[in-house]
A and B are shown apart, each in its own frame.
Chain A
Amino acid sequence: MEQMKVLLRNQGKPDMEDAKAYIATGGYDGLKRALEMDGAEIIEELKKSGLRGRGGAGFPTWLKLKFAFDTESAEKYIVCNADEGEPGTNKDRVLMSCDPHSLLEGMVIAGRAIGAHVGYIYLRAEYPQVRPILQRAIDSAYTCHALGKHIFGSDFEFDISIRSGAGAYVCGEETALFESIEGKRGEPRYKPPFPGVHGLFGKPTALNNVETLANISHIFRNGAIWFAGIGTKGSTGTKLFTVAGNVAHRGVYEFPMGINLKALIYENCGGIADGKGLLAVQTGGSSGPFIRPDQIDIPLDIDFVAASGGRLGCGTVFVIDDSNCILDIVRNTQDFFAYESCGQCTPCREGTIRVAQIVDKICRGDGSMVDVRALQELIDMLRVAPLCGLGHSSAVPIASVLQNFMPEVEKHLDGDACVWCNTQKGGRS
């Protein structure tokens, strides 16, 4: 299948941080169109487009903006979540590097929609090379009146500044991200109140992923109907997929929503590297489930993946070849969650470490069905009880392994040590 480059249309073009170069490709036309509309009209246009969040949850973007739009406040904020921490994901880095103005344009339009005049880009510290690109783009946007007072001669003003993270996965959670911007520990807040009412600095805030905001610029340039015509009924537009792990050609690909996962791996990414077989695929980042090779013939569409027990999430496809052991991989993933738990709420602070310990015990061959039952108890609790999304999804990987790879798990139980697992242990814990 051919890639469809909308978000990545400017990939490879020189000087894309220069607003003039961006304008020459038709950039900021969408913003100019949006400036002639009022907030309600912009939100209506987004509703028609069917755009849903690209960060993980797939929440309708228009609705998110509407919450902030409906809350009366002199101060509102647009926040861009560029804290791309999901292991195996780098689509936002690629997008921000090759077309930063599409993000800025999307933010200004979103600001126009809800009546916000300030936007923040929360950029993870692990992307030091992206910050100067974004900063140059912002400076250049000011020069070309795409930011600042009287944007393109209108009475609308909007400012964007960059805020940095410093190495905390949980800051990808929206309220944790707000706390971090406010100069505090990145610990999620309990909800409600929701960000649309009480967000950054206590003001109504709409937070969106980089890819979502960039999509807004394309929707306004080409129209909602054009956008809605791409992809599937429930998941419109194109999607960036980061394919990582043991495939021949790793990288970021752009396809209409609904592309077949198997085709993506075998046709576009050249199949499994080094002629090995496929062991498992994890979709949606570390918090997504592991599925078996016989489960990968599915369209990558938000609702379809969800219905089949998976998660499209941020569009990460992590491919694992059969030289690995799934228990070893899930051990690594659960270690990650234990390490990245903020520690604020009990289930996650105490639960994630227990899951990691028990999985390690099973890997070492010391586990038994008692441990599997303890895992199940933890999984059931972690799904529903923690304070934020990190906790809720922290047990998804091991839950999926118990569901889809139980024979593998059983092989490790009762003293049957796995040679591979024992050679692979190391690292953090």
Chain B
Amino acid sequence: MNQVNYSITTPQAQLVRVAEIAAAWHGRPDKLMDVILEVQHIVPALAEDVAAVIAREMGISQNDVYSFVTFYSLLPVRPSGRHTIRACSNAPCHVRGSKAVMQGIEDFLKIRPGETTEDGMFTYTLCSCLGICDSSPAIMIDDKPYGNLNYESVQMLLKRYIREDVDAWNR
């Protein structure tokens, strides 16, 4: 694993909102996941200052927040792009040509898995089964699943995201 650069400063206004969310669950460590999932939509990443605020407000320690966050593959400690593309790398997608889909994404965005485009538009990662195996190969962009893709169609899809015209596709 590469050394991770954690020096991200989260804007104060966001930290205040994080504190509000976390403070509601002081003394309820079991609510950590819910807090983090909510916070995730506010801050660019679950960075050190965010973890410190969550820990303080919930009455747990920062190392527990960090241990927790780094365990789950969908919780980023580094800033992600505006959209996160997750491409399923498991066998059911693999046998239906997920490699071509991944190649399509990489060629189009010029990034490798785990990277973010320079304009900060897309973060691209691989993931385990998304449960859309009836239309594999599948990917998920943010909360939206897309199936039956190939090298060309995934690039069409990404173009729509860039044009902010993705609703038509989803229809």
Contacts and interface: CB of A to CB of B under 8 A. Distances in A.
Contacts of B36: 166
Contacts, number: 142
B72 A85 contact: no
A393 to B, nearest CB: 15
B128 A87 contact: yes
Contact of A166 (B74, B90, B96, B130): B74
Interface stretch (A122-130, A255-263, A358-366, A379-387): A122-130
Interface of A: 84-90, 93, 124-129, 163-169, 180-187, 201, 242, 244-246, 250-252, 282, 286, 318, 320-321, 324, 329, 332-333, 335-336, 339-340, 342, 424, 426-428
A170 B157 CA distance: 32
27 contacts: A84-B131, A87-B129, A89-B133, A90-B133, A124-B131, A125-B72, A126-B74, A126-B129, A126-B140, A127-B131, A166-B33, A166-B37, A166-B72, A168-B72, A180-B33, A183-B33, A183-B68, A184-B29, A186-B71, A318-B91, A333-B91, A335-B89, A336-B89, A336-B90, A336-B128, A339-B128, A424-B99
Nearest to A166: B72
B113 A88 contact: no
B96 A167 contact: no
A245 B128 contact: no
A251 B30 CA distance: 35
B109 interface: no
A126 B68 CA distance: 18
Contacts of B30: 181-183, 201
A82 to B, nearest CB: 11
Interface residues of B, number: 42
A88 B64 CA distance: 33
Contacts of A329: 91, 94-95
Contacts of B53: none
Contacts of A282: 91
A167 B92 contact: no
A166 B32 CA distance: 12
A90 B136 CA distance: 12
A164 B129 contact: no
A166 B60 CA distance: 20
B31 interface: yes
Contact of B130 (A126, A169, A320, A342): A126
